[in-house]
Amino acid sequence: MQKMLSYVRRAVDQYHMIEEGDVIAVGVSGGKDSLALLSALAGLRRFYPKKFEVKAITLEMGYDEMDFTPVAALCQKLGVEFITEQTDIKTVVFDIRKEENPCSLCANMRRGALNSTAKAHGCNKVALGHHFDDVVETVLMSLLYEGRFSCFLPVTYLDRAGVTVIRPMVYTPESYIRSLAKRLELPIVHNPCPVDGSTKREEIKQLLRSLEHTNPGVRQRIFGAIQRYPLRGWAPDKTVRRKKSE
Ligand SMILES: Nc1ncnc2c1ncn2[C@@H]1O[C@H](COP(=O)(O)OP(=O)(O)OP(=O)(O)O)[C@@H](O)[C@H]1O
């Protein structure tokens, strides 16, 4: 957990993600990434110099077989309020709209519902479980399939929703999250969504795996390019640690 906290602390510091008095809603899907993020922010809360609160929010998508009882138990152990919000996202996406490409509608509806639930529960920030590999894959997907150099941001203020979205795991590799989730026995809830994720993302994951095999450090260099260019919103404030020790 120490290493996880240092990955998260570096992102939080270099992108100024947390301010004194923040109430942060962690979007908890039941997957390994958001459960790891929840554990990390609950841990960071204990010693971070700026005081902040953490709440967990789960949007129930409408799948009866998803049981969040173990997630509620984890929240209790971490001393974090657990909020669940019933939604009809599954019904709208699959039964009403019968979307051919359901993932983007689903993601949009989740984002909207998460932000408004967070706001309704007094949270000014929403933390999402995107990690280092998500950043590299997303930028490569946008480059190769859309002809653009773009990615989601570490910090985004959403004017209309009135919340700021933060992604404290942008420095945390997925392989580390996977092993941490096993070690901490995080209560992963199986997601029965019938759509098997994005095939394009799978293609990119495969490409990166094979590039990494022959050119170790490829992912790190792509990530470095995002910061050095820098993509808008991705220039890290590397003076933060120095300032503290001065
Ligand atoms: N049903 C949900 N309720 C609350 N937050 C959610 C939900 N689904 C997704 N999120 C939030 O949005 C983030 C990105 O969603 P995505 O579906 O890409 O998750 P993921 O990469 O599979 O991560 P995870 O392992 O946390 O599910 C998640 O990490 C989580 O913080």
CA distances from 82 to 57, 69, 78 (A): 6, 10, 10
- The CATH number linked to 126 is 3.40.50.620
Q: How many domains does the chain have?
A: 1
Distance between CA atoms of residues 50 and 12, nearest Å: 11
pLDDT digits (tens, 9 = 90+) for 130-188: 999 999 999 999 999 999 999 999 999 999 999 999 999 999 999 999 999 999 999 99
**Atom of ligand 1 at shortest distance to CA of 134?**
21
Q: Which domain holds residue 60?
A: 2-245
Q: With bands split at pLDDT 50, 70 and 90, how would you rate the model's confidence at 245?
A: very low
What integer is the mean pLDDT of 94-110? 87
With beta carbons less than 8 A apart as the criterion, state whether 93 and 106 touch.
Answer: yes
* Ligand 1 neighbours (beta carbon < 6 A): 27-29, 31-34, 57-59, 61, 110, 114, 128-130
Residue nearest to ligand 1 atom 7, measured at CA = 29
DSSP 190-238: P---SS---HHHHHHHHHHHHHHHHSTTHHHHHHHHHHHTTPTT----T
Rounded Cα distance between 177 and 170, Å, is: 12
* Minimum-distance ligand 1 atom for the alpha carbon of 85: 3
For residue 3, how many C-alpha atoms fall within 13 Å in the half-sphere facing its CB?
A: 7
Residue nearest to atom 9 of ligand 1 (CA): 29
Point out the ligand 1 atom lying closest to the alpha carbon of residue 59: 3
**What is the residue with the minimal CA distance to atom 28 of ligand 1?**
129
Give the tokens for residue 231: 């993509």
**What is the reported pLDDT for 246?**
40
Beta bridge partners of 98: none
Mean pLDDT for the chain overall: 94
| CA dihedral of residues 187, 138, 17, 119 (deg, nearest 10) | -70
60 Cα to the center of ligand 1, angstroms: 12
Structure tokens at 13: 């510091």
Q: Does the predicted TM-score (pTM) go above 0.90?
A: yes
Which of 126, 167, 169, 166 has the alpha carbon at shortest distance from 23? 126
Structural tokens at position 147: 């002809």
Tell how far the Cα of 229 is from the centroid of ligand 1, in angstroms.
Answer: 28
The per-residue pLDDT for range 75-90, each reduced to its tens digit, is 999 999 999 999 999 9
Ligand 1 atom index nearest CA of 60 = 1
Please tell me the predicted confidence (pLDDT) of residue 100.
Answer: 79
Which CA distances in Å does 186 have to 72, 92, 130? 12, 30, 17
